[in-house]
Chains A and B, each alone.
Chain A
Amino acid sequence: DAKTTQPNSMESNEEEPVHLPCNHSTISGTDYIHWYRQLPSQGPEYVIHGLTSNVNNRMASLAIAEDRKSSTLILHRATLRDAAVYYCILGAGGYQKVTFGTGTKLQVIP
């Protein structure tokens, strides 16, 4: 199964951009890259996902390396509500199991 590697923790100042990296060197061609975040005492919530091209939505942007062996979640302006554990996940769907990364705990400093 493909694995992901993320830094254990990161800090950011409020209203500054945050770049959260994820390495997935053994990703297969059909694996989608998903990002979820988990706020304290809650289940994870979806942030963004992509396959090959960079993706943007109202919450964040996802930059995927050309060789797909790494990706970066970009929060354009961190707020205190963005303090959470961010998970990078690979999933191919169907009969492929989901592999969770270690997660990065993001601390946002006022």
Chain B
Amino acid sequence: KAGVTQTPRYLIKTRGQQVTLSCSPISGHRSVSWYQQTPGQGLQFLFEYFSETQRNKGNFPGRFSGRQFSNSRSEMNVSTLELGDSALYLCASSLVDTTDTQYFGPGTRLTVL
């Protein structure tokens, strides 16, 4: 089975811009979660989607949003980028929910200048 793929792998944006990151889960997986990883804050949960519905959300401002499509592929969007949004954004998929094993993608490295 192909693993979780994330595109793009690297991205450079400037403050105020917006960005869309994409995640393709493992075939058959219906739950997709997003995480932000920074040196200072570690791994932080952004949100989880299941059957095109956001099932849970972490403590991030409304500038961070996401969606899931009928084929379980997911996108996350960050609007009005700030310097502090520079991070590795990780996507993970699992069969049904986060009690199942999560399979992580390689991440998208976002740099905000």
**Among candidates B42, B90, B96, B101, residue contacting A43 with C-beta atoms closer than 8 Å:** B90
User: What residues on A are CB-neighbors of B104 within 8 Å?
Assistant: 36, 43-45
Asked whether B45 lies within 8 Å of A93 as measured between CB atoms, the reply is: no
**Count of chain B residues with a beta carbon within 8 Å of a chain A beta carbon:** 26
Residue of A43, A44, A87, A91 touching B98 (CB-CB under 8 A): A91
B55 interface residue (CB < 8 Å to A): yes
Chain A residue with Cβ nearest B47? A97
**A100, closest chain B residue (CB):** B43
Instruction: Kindly supply a per-residue 1/0 record for chain B positions 82-106, scoring 1 wherever the CB is within 8 Å of any chain A CB and 0 otherwise.
Output: 0000000010100011111111111
Provide the A78-110 mask, 1 if CB < 8 A to any CB of B, else 0. Answer: 000000000100011111111110110000000
CB < 8 Å neighbour of B48 from A34, A42, A49, A97 = A97
B33 at the interface (CB under 8 A from A): yes
> Closest B-chain residue to A99, C-beta based?
B45
The answer to whether B42 touches A97 (Cβ under 8 A) is no
Give 1 or 0 for each of B40-76: 1 = CB within 8 Å of chain A CB. Answer: 0011110010000001111000000000000000000
B43 surroundings in chain A (CB, below 8 A) = 44, 87, 100, 103
- A95 CB to closest chain B CB, in angstroms? 6
Complex alpha-carbon distance, A46 and B45, angstroms: 16
Identify which of A93, A94, A102 contacts B42 (C-beta below 8 A): A102
Would you list the 8 A-B pairs with minimal beta carbon distance, nearest first?
A43-B104, A93-B99, A93-B97, A91-B98, A100-B43, A97-B56, A46-B101, A98-B98
